[in-house]
Structure 1
Amino acid sequence: MALQRRKLKLLAMVMMINFFIFILISRNSGQDKSGLNKPYVPAKAFWAKLSPNSAYWNRQQQILDVQDNPIFMTNFSSADVPDWLNDTSSNSDPCQPNVRVTTQVKDYNSLPDRFKDFLLYMRCRSYPVVMDNPGICKDPPFLLLAVKSLGPHFDRRQAIRQSWGRAGIIANKTVVTVFLLGNATAVDHHPDLSEMLSYENSRHKDLIQWDFRDSFFNLTVKEVLFLDWIQARCSRARFIFKGDDDVFVNTYRILEFLKGLSGPKAKDLFVGDVITNAGPHRDKKVKYFIPESMYTGAYPPYAGGGGYLYSGDIAARLQNASQHVALYPIDDVYTGMCLRKLGLGPEKHKGFRTFNIEEKYRSNPCAYKSLMLVHPRTPQEMIQIWTWLNREDLSCQ
């Protein structure tokens, strides 16, 4: 009997607790955090007032973001849009010099010539193809090696062909190599090498060249043109390595790494030597100097332009994203911006050494066996390291 009474008391307590919980929920339903039974009225408008950024690149990106915003464009008439968003220059030929920029950038006249040239042609994303090899990816490659080069760098390209960029079947995988060129013009005091380049291409059939000024600030143009080229000529490439012509790449190590990737990991692959918490240099003596009149804010995480590795799927998504990101004069930062537009970020891999390795290890063959990329290396050093890695008696612990 005593046990039964205890059970009845316990049951009664549980019922009382449930009843009190029900009362509390009933009282609080329909109330906000202050306990008042009234609807919440926002203190200010949902849409913040649009105001132009003082920096030219940021302002151009604002314009693109608004144009890509279907809610904004649907609910606002042209009369409601501020004048700075109605940039009529976007309706003219984008590959003609945009002379309006000379008044839109406050310190334009005092900027170095490389900035003036970039700003005048910042809207242009289409240039004639001078040389192409449309059938180079007829057999879809497992790995496409795309090397940024300059016309006069014959020795670098040849060293790459004889070493890490050797095309064909490597480790049972198809590898294709292409060299990406612009036009090394007389404006930059380059000699006319067009006939030599034509001969080089007729022999090796691996040059892709466009008719734009091949300068440091135009490497971003080379980037977007290459992304377009991939979709037109090599869209079924499984993976792409893109890098400079003064790096050494351990192609064997890259292929080994790629073979070990799972499906989802392979699809979203973008790895390299990632730089974070960086921003524009304000020192005019630095190669990467960017004035405040051009860009404000921090950079997104990005992989150093010496070389990085990504999937064919990412290449297609980058090509789409690049159409919605204003051109920026530093190509690796620009690629980071496009990744951020996709909601992605590059992954750091310790095998990418874009800032070299310790000097005491540079003459040790085993130092390169586990690495994917080392920068910088001369043509002679590329061939030497490749010879080391192909030695049958090389034994590394």
Structure 2
Amino acid sequence: MALLRSKLKLMVTVMTINLFIVILIFRQSGQDKNGSDKVRVPSKPFWTKLTPVSAYWNLQQQILDIQNNPILLSNYSAAEVPDWLIAANLTSDPCKPNVRVTTQVKDYNSLPDRFKDFLLYMHCRSYPIVVDQPDICKTPPFLLLAVKSQVSHFDRRQAIRQSWGRAGVLANRTVVTIFLLGQATAWDHHPDLSHSLHEESLRHRDIIQWDYRDSFFNLTVKEVLFLEWIHTRCPGARFIFKGDDDVFVNTYRILDFLKGLSAPKARDLFVGDVITEAGPHRDKKVKYFIPESLYVGKYPPYAGGGGYLYSGDVAALLHRVSQNVVLYPIDDVYTGMCLRKGGLGPEKNKGFRTFDIEEKYRSNPCAYNSLMLVHPRTPQEMIKIWAWLSSPDLNC
């Protein structure tokens, strides 16, 4: 009796399932006949045509995005391409001033001179290299230390050479150091130190210099020129540290940190002192002041320009995507923009202290032992801290 009941229950279950399948098939076939579930291809674009942004940088980026996107560009026929989309189609070679910007930025005449200079030449990315070290990466380095410097900062460069930027083999890893320079112009009231720089370059063979005006707003130019230099001269570098010449870097700690990375982590590495949810300063007295006529919106997450560490793979990515990101007058923000364009983001690491450490710890050698970067430090302090960390008697 129990066996009969089990068979009956099984038959009812199977019949119920079959009936449910038949109903589904019937409903599906009915919907197909009505055409309600068929894939529909739109007969015309379903996106709206973009309207221009008023801020000059945002507009230039918007134009560049459209020009590099065949889907968005196809939204316009040849006869109806708007004037604002054609107006910024400039060539960057030769690098002549774009005088049209004087009327395209509404408050151009009232802006400080540094903005006028930047706006006139922001389309230019290519400058001649006047001092190069083409064979410095003949043996691809494990770590490339790239230091932003200026012609007159000889004492800082020398202190770095004698301390954390000492090239050669460190902790069984090859380290190469280079200094990135532009031109010190008479326009900025700099003395002529070209002879001294030439002698320095012959002696140390670590100077890379381009023929452009080395100013705060042109640090972004230095960034894109450096990315091009890596691409052509040092593509085999495993990792790159890029920073200012007034920071102290614990190269020992950086090498130790890199040694412990997994392969995927090492490939996409970009770490530093990351700033999030930031936006342009509107106070004209602030060094980083940006007018609304130039940029609107928030900044993407970015690592403070005092120094950050990234992989050779990320360097190649930045080189590629930077060609589709309009130059911005703040270089570390610009690098954050390029990272976002490339689908990556910077990772915050507590070892990067771009806003210094507490004063009570600054004379303690052990305070630097676990850090990778501290900003700022004088040339004398760099040498002293390096001596602390290099001492076999250090016990932290």
1:242 aligns with 2:234: no
Whichever residue aligns with residue 228 of structure 1, its letter is E
Aligned to 1:273: 273
CA distance in 2, matches of 1:300, 1:92: 26
**SS of the counterpart of 1:90?**
coil
Give, in angstroms, the shift of residue 10 of structure 1. 4.2
The answer to whether the 8 A contact 2:272-2:352 is kept is yes
CA distance in 1, matches of 2:329, 2:88: 23
CA distance in 1, matches of 2:55, 2:30: 47
CA distance in 1, matches of 2:301, 2:30: 44
Give, in angstroms, the shift of residue 84 of structure 1. 0.7
Whichever residue aligns with residue 371 of structure 1, its letter is L
The answer to whether the 8 A contact 1:30-1:37 is kept is no
Give, in angstroms, the shift of residue 146 of structure 1. 0.2
Aligned to 2:97: 97
Aligned to 1:191: 191
Whichever residue aligns with residue 305 of structure 1, its letter is G
The answer to whether the 8 A contact 2:92-2:123 is kept is no
**SS of the counterpart of 2:218?**
helix
> Superposed, which structure 2 residues align to 1:1-397 within 5 Å?
1-20=1-20, 22-23=22-23, 26-27=26-27, 37=36, 45-73=45-73, 76-87=76-87, 90-91=90-91, 93=93, 95-396=95-396
Structure 1 unmatched runs, 5+: none
Give, in angstroms, the shift of residue 75 of structure 1. 6.5
Q: Which moved more, 1:191-200 or 1:43-52?
A: 43-52
The answer to whether the 8 A contact 1:140-1:236 is kept is yes
CA distance in 1, matches of 2:381, 2:55: 43
The answer to whether the 8 A contact 1:236-1:312 is kept is yes
The answer to whether the 8 A contact 1:240-1:309 is kept is yes
The answer to whether the 8 A contact 1:238-1:312 is kept is yes
CA distance in 2, matches of 1:236, 1:41: 47
Q: Which moved more, 1:308-317 or 1:67-76?
A: 67-76
CA distance in 2, matches of 1:30, 1:112: 70
CA distance in 2, matches of 1:2, 1:88: 86
Give, in angstroms, the shift of residue 392 of structure 1. 0.8
1:253–1:3 CA distance, 2 compared to 1 (3 A): same
Give, in angstroms, the shift of residue 24 of structure 1. 5.1
CA distance in 2, matches of 1:135, 1:73: 43
Whichever residue aligns with residue 169 of structure 1, its letter is V
Aligned residues: 394
The answer to whether the 8 A contact 2:49-2:75 is kept is no
CA offsets 1:92-118 (integer angstroms, 9 cap, x no match): 745101000000000101111110000
Give, in angstroms, the shift of residue 187 of structure 1. 1.1
CA distance in 2, matches of 1:290, 1:326: 15
| Superposition TM-score, scaled by structure 2 size | 0.94
Give, in angstroms, the shift of residue 4 of structure 1. 2.7
CA distance in 2, matches of 1:133, 1:91: 29
1:133–1:241 CA distance, 2 compared to 1 (3 A): same
CA distance in 1, matches of 2:292, 2:42: 36
Structure 2 unmatched runs, 5+: none
1:110–1:167 CA distance, 2 compared to 1 (3 A): same
| Superposition TM-score, scaled by structure 1 size | 0.94
**SS of the counterpart of 2:136?**
coil
Give, in angstroms, the shift of residue 86 of structure 1. 0.8
Whichever residue aligns with residue 119 of structure 2, its letter is L
The answer to whether the 8 A contact 1:89-1:98 is kept is no
**SS of the counterpart of 2:345?**
coil
CA distance in 1, matches of 2:93, 2:201: 32
CA distance in 2, matches of 1:388, 1:71: 59
Q: Which moved more, 1:258-267 or 1:325-334?
A: 258-267
**SS of the counterpart of 2:130?**
strand
CA offsets 1:3-37 (integer angstroms, 9 cap, x no match): 331342244035325523652564367769xx994
Q: 4+ runs of 1 displaced by more than 6 Å? A: 38-44
1:88–1:385 CA distance, 2 compared to 1 (3 A): closer
RMSD of aligned alpha carbons: 2.2
1:167–1:346 CA distance, 2 compared to 1 (3 A): same
1:119–1:94 CA distance, 2 compared to 1 (3 A): farther
CA distance in 2, matches of 1:196, 1:368: 33
CA distance in 2, matches of 1:104, 1:247: 39
The answer to whether the 8 A contact 2:271-2:348 is kept is yes
Q: Which moved more, 1:260-269 or 1:285-294?
A: 260-269
1:383–1:26 CA distance, 2 compared to 1 (3 A): farther
1:31–1:291 CA distance, 2 compared to 1 (3 A): farther
**SS of the counterpart of 1:141?**
coil
Give, in angstroms, the shift of residue 216 of structure 1. 0.6
**SS of the counterpart of 2:253?**
helix
